[in-house]
Structure 1
């Protein structure tokens, strides 16, 4: 089980291009299997694959915006609809190349939720 300090802290996602993207640790661990597998004591997580820092930053921005729409696992039906609407709008606003980059990032970050919105 994660400590309270881990839940309040940040984790750095280090990309192949040297970019380091900071994310709230609890949010990142809840969304990313890669971060969750690293455990609470790890402050820097190496992102595998050729996922650029710009794409990882976009993923973290998505995580934060999505969490604001449906902030808990026990979300109400209305919050679930809001979140589904958010995902739909998010996908509609992407170019083909942006979608491919995000699918690639979702795969390497092991973010099943992000990955599934593209299927």
Structure 2
């Protein structure tokens, strides 16, 4: 089961037409929206490979969703998640922080939302 989860892909579809592909195991572990979709087998994966498509609610741009996914993947790979979070937060501008709060809210990533808020 763990190997299948690691190979599964979730595609986050944004209002601006951008799609962001990410490992389902990483993103579903942080995003309530994705976890529900993966559990329910949502979206158009048709031919296998564990592909799940999730429509991101709200007007969250693909750039912001991609930034959140990059954060999730990098944090999952970090040896010290708390230190990674500190560096990540320190490198954000005010506007980027607001955009990521908006994206974290719509992706239902409570941990990232609370970290940024």
Q: Could you say which TM-score interval applies, normalised by the shorter chain? A: 0.7 to 0.9
Name 2:86's counterpart in structure 1: 88
Question: How many positions carry a matched residue from both structures?
Answer: 107
1:38 Cα deviation from its structure 2 partner: 1.1
Name 1:62's counterpart in structure 2: 71
- What TM-score does the superposition give when structure 2 sets the normalisation length? 0.84
1:5 Cα deviation from its structure 2 partner: 2.8
Name 2:31's counterpart in structure 1: 32
Any stretches of 5+ residues in structure 2 without a counterpart? 43-51
CA distance in structure 2 between the partners assigned to 1:88 and 1:28 by the alignment:
20
Name 1:109's counterpart in structure 2: 107
CA distance in structure 1 between the partners assigned to 2:65 and 2:92 by the alignment:
15
Alignment RMSD, CA only?
1.6
CA contact (8 A) 2:24 2:38 kept: no
- What TM-score does the superposition give when structure 1 sets the normalisation length? 0.83
CA distance in structure 1 between the partners assigned to 2:6 and 2:82 by the alignment:
26
Name 1:47's counterpart in structure 2: 56
Name 2:47's counterpart in structure 1: none
1:6 Cα deviation from its structure 2 partner: 3.8
1:32 Cα deviation from its structure 2 partner: 0.5
Any stretches of 5+ residues in structure 1 without a counterpart? 71-81
